[in-house]
């Protein structure tokens, strides 16, 4: 009984931890939106904007990755 | 002058090989080789020990040193990098003696490094570009090789079997001391695989040490550029008595800067580790669930290639950006900032 409650808690916790990915998705979308707008207005700046966009995406994606690591750690009983 | 259009029949061979690879990979990864679906590997955040006993009991008086499976990979990465450096050097020396035109690997490395150097010069200015480029390129190439090496076949899959303490996998003998894991778990008498090779960026020790090196180098470059004035960024008490309100705000900002330096270490380390660890787990879980359709793990491997390159780029470029920020100074000193870093942004 106690074991199955622990099991359920692990799965629920892993699912809840992934909620943070929603924010990261919004962040990635916003940075792509800004970069695409800039590229459309000024196609010459394509290279610079692409670099900065990838950097920004990596920053917001890192948050989703933190969530993913936490939920993996919960799922596979690492900690 | 022959202008006859060549029929590109070689392309069809490539396409055919791709299809054959998919089919053969599907068969081998699925049921063809052993008649079993792929095994979900034991997932651990820490590197597995190849030998249960420590090889050095008391390493530097700190802790026992184990032979973990990231150590062979570290050696492999370093040997590979040294070989590339050696051959590049030889190729460039040869071109220096003949006609100054680099060929082969020397040409390739020159193109890559030139692109990176131009990027550094664009944001750091000519004065500090040389110093910063050294760190930027070294970290980037090292992390790139660390990330890409873990995609090689044989990593995470061939290793030594340890008896499991809890649940483990059943094994079947192949002969000659080799056996393979069966996918079903057993309660007693099972085995756990500790692979010979594990990508080094999937080890938190590697990423934390690299992050420490990067952040300490950022501070060192800050001190080199601004002298003791670099400390004003963190301990900004100058204005407290002149303009009390804004002075206190400046002081608080300095303390926040100090905290953010430590946060940089954590975010550097966990960004790389998290991305790479998530990739390993993703490939393992997807292969064990739908591994018999080999295109799915293959696509994930392609995605891992992309992530590995992007993360190496991000690690390097963040080091560069922090170094540029450290050399640029703070507040009114920004007029002395290297040319190009401020102006170029506004021109675009």
Which residues lie across from B80 on neighbouring strands? none
In this prediction, residue B348 has a pLDDT band, given cuts at 50, 70 and 90, of very low
Contacts of B259 (CB under 8 A, 6+ apart): none
Kind plus residue range of the DSSP H or E element containing B169: strand B168-175
Q: Is the pLDDT of residue B258 over 90?
A: no
Domains of chain A: 2-75 (1.20.20.10)
- Give the neighbor-by-neighbor strand order of the sheet with B159-163: B159-163, B191-195, B168-175, B178-186
Residue of B nearest to A46 (CA): B348
Residue (of B230, B227, B218, B220) closest to B261 by Cα position: B218
Most confident of B33-47, B57-71, B93-107: B93-107
Q: Is the pLDDT of residue B293 over 90?
A: no
**How confident is the model at residue B140, as a pLDDT?**
92
pLDDT in tens, A51-69: 788 878 877 887 887 888 7
Query: Which stretch of A47-61, B26-40, B265-279 has the lowest confidence by average pLDDT?
Result: B26-40
**Is pLDDT larger for residue B198 or for residue B10?**
B198
pLDDT in tens, B96-145: 888 777 778 888 888 999 998 988 888 888 888 888 999 999 999 999 99
DSSP class of residue B67?
A: -
List the single residue in B45, B119, B273 with the smallest CB-CB distance to A78: B45
**How confident is the model at residue B25, as a pLDDT?**
61
What's the burial of B73, exposed, middle or buried (CB within 10 Å: 0-12/13-18/19+)?
buried
Task: Please indicate whether, in this complex, the C-beta atoms of B310 and A72 are within 8 angstroms of each other.
Answer: no
**How confident is the model at residue B216, as a pLDDT?**
94
Determine the distance in angstroms separating the CA of B242 from the nearest CA of chain A, rounded to an integer.
38
**Is pLDDT larger for residue B58 or for residue B321?**
B321
List the single residue in A44, A55, A62 with the smallest CB-CB distance to B317: A55
**How confident is the model at residue B270, as a pLDDT?**
85
User: What percent of chain B shows pLDDT beyond 90?
Assistant: 14
CB atoms within 10 A of CB B159: 19
List the single residue in B274, B313, B318 with the smallest CB-CB distance to A69: B274
Distance set, CA B86 to CA B79, B83, B93, B135 (Å): 10, 5, 11, 19
Kind plus residue range of the DSSP H or E element containing B256: helix B244-290
Q: Is the pLDDT of residue B345 over 50?
A: no
pLDDT in tens, B181-236: 776 777 777 777 778 888 888 888 899 999 999 999 999 999 998 888 888 888 87
pLDDT in tens, A23-48: 999 999 999 999 999 999 998 888 77
**How confident is the model at residue A78, as a pLDDT?**
64
**How confident is the model at residue B193, as a pLDDT?**
78
Average pLDDT over residues B75-103: 88
Residues in A lying within 8 Å of B, measured between beta carbons: 42, 44-45, 48, 51, 54-55, 58, 61-62, 65-66, 68-69, 72-73, 76, 78-79
In angstroms, rounded to a whole number, what is the distance separating the alpha carbons of residues B170 and B187?
10
Average pLDDT over residues B309-318: 89
What's the burial of A35, exposed, middle or buried (CB within 10 Å: 0-12/13-18/19+)?
buried
**How confident is the model at residue B329, as a pLDDT?**
67
In this prediction, residue B337 has a pLDDT band, given cuts at 50, 70 and 90, of very low
**How confident is the model at residue A42, as a pLDDT?**
92
**Is pLDDT larger for residue B183 or for residue B26?**
B183
Most confident of A65-79, B7-21, B23-37, B262-276: B262-276
């Amino acid at each position: 009984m106690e074991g199955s409650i622990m099991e359920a808690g692990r799965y629920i916790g892993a699912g809840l931890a992934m909620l943070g990915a929603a924010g990261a998705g919004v962040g990635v979308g916003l940075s792509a939106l800004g970069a695409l707008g800039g590229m459309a207005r000024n196609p010459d700046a394509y290279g610079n904007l692409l670099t900065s966009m990838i950097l920004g995406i990596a920053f917001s994606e890192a948050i989703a990755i933190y969530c993913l690591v936490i939920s993996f750690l919960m799922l596979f009983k690492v900690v | 002058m022959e202008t006859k259009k060549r029929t590109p029949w070689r392309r069809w061979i490539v396409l055919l090989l791709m299809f054959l690879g998919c089919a053969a990979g599907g068969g081998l990864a699925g049921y063809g080789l052993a008649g079993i679906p792929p095994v979900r590997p034991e997932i651990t955040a820490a590197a597995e020990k190849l030998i249960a006993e420590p090889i050095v009991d008391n390493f530097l008086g700190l802790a026992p040193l184990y032979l973990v499976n990231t150590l062979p990979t570290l050696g492999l990465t370093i040997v590979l990098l040294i070989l590339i450096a050696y051959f590049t050097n030889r190729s460039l020396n040869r071109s220096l003696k003949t006609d100054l035109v680099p060929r082969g690997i020397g040409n390739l490395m020159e193109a890559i490094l030139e692109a990176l150097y131009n990027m550094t010069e664009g944001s750091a200015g000519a004065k500090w570009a040389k110093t910063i480029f050294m760190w930027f390129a070294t970290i980037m190439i090292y992390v790139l090789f660390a990330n890409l090496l873990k995609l090689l076949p044989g990593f995470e899959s061939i290793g030594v079997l340890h008896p499991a303490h809890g649940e483990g996998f059943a094994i079947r003998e192949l002969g000659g001391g080799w056996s393979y894991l069966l996918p079903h778990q057993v309660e007693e008498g099972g085995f756990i695989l500790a692979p010979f090779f594990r990508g080094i960026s999937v080890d938190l020790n590697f990423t934390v040490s690299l992050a420490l090196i990067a952040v300490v180098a950022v501070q060192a470059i800050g001190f080199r550029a601004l002298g003791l004035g670099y400390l004003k960024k963190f301990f900004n008490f100058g204005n407290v008595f002149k303009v009390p309100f804004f002075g206190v705000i400046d002081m608080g900002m300095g303390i926040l800067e100090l905290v953010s330096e430590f946060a940089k270490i954590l975010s550097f380390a966990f960004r790389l580790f998290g991305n790479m660890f998530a990739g390993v787990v993703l490939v393992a879980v997807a292969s064990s669930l739908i591994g018999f359709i080999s295109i799915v793990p293959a696509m994930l491997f392609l995605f891992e290639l992309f992530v590995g390159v992007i993360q190496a780029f991000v690690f390097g470029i963040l080091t560069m950006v922090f170094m540029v920020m450290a050399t640029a100074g703070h507040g009114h000193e920004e007029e002395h900032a290297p040319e190009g870093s401020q102006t170029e942004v506004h021109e675009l």
